[in-house]
Chains A and B, each alone.
Chain A
Amino acid sequence: MKNTEPVEAIDENKTGLPWPSSWKGAYIFVLASFILWIILLVALTRYGS
């Protein structure tokens, strides 16, 4: 029953995107955008109060 297809031969260490090409870069990008959102939301909260 188990999948007998061969494990993919593509390079799993690369994202395959033009940018960021490494996974480390991709994680940093996600965290940076998250922090940016927090900052924007805090600024919005301050603006409203």
Chain B
Amino acid sequence: MNNLDLVVLITTILGIAIYGMWQTRKRQDLHDYLRGTNHAPWYAIGLSVMATQASAITFLSTPGQGYLGGLSFVQVYFGVPIALIIIAVFFLPIFHKLNVYTAYEFLEKRFDGKTRLLGAALFMLQRGLGAGLTIYAPAIVLTTVCGWPLNVTIISSGLLVILYTVMGGSDAVTVTQKYQIMIIFAGMITAACLLVGKLPHDLDFGDTLKLAGGFQKLNAVSFSPSIHQRYTLWSGLLGGTFLMLSYFGTDQSQVQRYISGSSLRESRLGLLFNAICKIPMQFCILFIGVLMFVFYQFNQPPLFFDAAANNYMQEHKTEANFAAYQADFSAARGQVRQNLEKWIAARHQGDQAAANVAFTAAATAQMSSEAVRAAAIKEVSEKRSDAKANDADYVFITFILRELPHGVIGLLMAAFFAAALSSKAAELNALGTCSTIDFYRPLLKKDASDEQSLFATKCFTALWGFLAIGFALFCNLSENLIQAVNILGSIFYGVMLALFLVGFFLRQVGGTAIFWSALAAQTLVFILYSKLTISYLWFPLIGCAACVIFSLLLQLILSSRSNLRKST
């Protein structure tokens, strides 16, 4: 990064934050602070919902997923359209009718106070942990890019988001998200255009698809019935629907976004906008990863993309093993490139037999290079614990830094930062609101005035921000970042969803039955998560089904006991 990049990055990020603070400087009313001034049109709601879900991890790690695993990750989002339609039809009218600040207020109205507290506690537990991850991801990027100390990056980005979220509340989040998502789109579209321009000129679109497909990178849909395979059509449709239904329907960071619409209609349209756009958006981000894969078939990729592993390799490049790995890897990559150039020439001449021979040779060389990489990764991992060679998170940033011009690098850094701040702000806003509305007012200070509640919300928002910074400082992940966030959500979301589904649809179940059933189901999910190796997408479904079944059984027992007492 040079000075131009730094100017682009700092101007963009600070400019949006200052604009958000200035626009919302007069928010001194509790309702306006928590729900906004209710003037947001549907497209602002839609962009806000989109920006809340799409964190820096989405834009940083997803292209890496596309590079390494192809398009299969898109199946996670197959549940989004179905889930958002269900929320628009059933959840949203109830939230609007009850005029709630948090989704968990509904649980008290339908069941009792303890069930509301349980729902809010589950949200705060998982979102509080997840909040650390969303601040950790861009910090890794900037640490890699600028060589800044990781802790300084985490603290400075954390403090900025705390500042404007605490000052402006819900409207500050919505106002800044609108501009942050524009920067994100501008950055990603620019990167994609430049990437296409860097592909070999004799490679047409059909060749690109054939090449990517030949290396199994276009595997967008899998019909495999195996529950151990992480991403399939079935896990996406069933598990993904439950995961997304839980996330959009019961996670306060999302609920707070769409209930801030000026009317039920605007909120609904905002959700449907996401229902249509989410899959194409994720597909495009993954496809950037696939295009990077094609690009690196004709250009020498690094042995590792992971910064820590790469640094370790650079420090020890004189060692015999690493020098041999690098030489073998370069030789294999050279063969891949040569054979693919022969393949393109044969394809364009219509010589299918020669094309097949060349592609087979390229695939064999590709397998050799991957074997060398695997051996090198194993050796680095054994020698150094912090160099795990988790490449997916570093593929895109490596490409940006090596291949894109200055200015664009700054724009993309600003896009990552904007994505991190937008989701982080929504999380902090939701956590602060939930802490005040669901805990402070009902438990700590029942007669709190609006001024006291407003002050408490600001304090809680700041407190959650500092906790997230603390968590990020001690974060050390073995999972790919985007998967870590989804896994964390999948453990808690099933039970949270069940609380609402039972509340909406099973009138016979009371507060005591659902409360104990939710605790039992959450315990079951914890146990199953530690014992089973199935895809994490199934856990929301399991947690939800277990909670619903337990609540029905427990209600049956409680009702029969009650009847017995009455009869005696």
Asked whether, in the complex, the Cβ of B268 is within 8 Å of the Cβ of A23, the reply is yes
- Does A1 lie within 8 Å of B453, measured CB to CB? yes
Q: A30-B81, A42-B221 given as contacts; is B212 within 8 A of A48 (CB)? A: yes
- Complex: how many Å from CA A21 to CA B279? 24
Cα-based distance from A15 to B213 in the complex (angstroms): 41
Nearest CB on B from A6, distance (A): 11
CB distance from A28 to the nearest CB of B (A): 10
Chain A contact residues: over half helix, strand or loop, or mixed? helix
**Residue among B262, B276, B279 making CB contact with A8, cutoff 8 Å:** B262
Once bound together, how far apart are the Cα atoms of A3 and B35, in whole Å? Answer: 9
In the complex the two chains form, is A48's CB within 8 Å of B78's CB?
Answer: no
Point out the residues of chain B lying under 8 angstroms from A30, CB to CB.
81, 84-85, 272, 275-276
**Cβ of B71 under 8 Å from chain A:** yes
- Which residues of A pack against B, CB within 8 Å? 1-3, 5, 8, 10, 12, 14-17, 23, 26-27, 29-31, 33-34, 37-38, 41-42, 44-45, 47-49
**Residue-wise interface mask of B (262-288) relative to A, using a CB-CB cutoff of 8 A (1 in contact, 0 not):** 111100110010011001100100000
Chain B residues within an 8 Å CB radius of A12: 263-265
Contact A48 B214 (CB under 8 A): yes
* Option from A1, A31, A45, A47 in Cβ contact (under 8 Å) with B30: A1
- List chain B residues, Cβ under 8 A from A44: 71, 209, 218, 220
A-B contacts at CB below 8 angstroms, number: 90
B216 CB-CB contact with A under 8 Å = yes
Q: Are A1 and B31 in contact (CB under 8 A)?
A: yes
Give, as a whole number of angstroms, the nearest-CB distance from B135 to chain A: 31
Q: Out of A15, A38, A45, which one reaches B269, CB within 8 Å? A: A15
Question: Contact string, B184-210, partner A, CB cutoff 8 A, digits 1/0?
Answer: 000000000000000000000000011
CA A12 to CA B264, docked complex, whole Å:
7
Flag if B213 contacts A49 (CB, 8 Å). Answer: yes
Out of A2, A27, A41, which one reaches B221, CB within 8 Å? A41
- On chain B, the residues within 8 Å of A14 by CB distance are 265
Known contacts A27-B85, A38-B78, A41-B220; is A15 also within 8 Å of B265 by CB? yes
Q: Are A45 and B272 in contact (CB under 8 A)?
A: no
Cross-chain contact B265 with A49 (CB below 8 angstroms): no
Complex CA gap A1/B442 in Å reads: 14
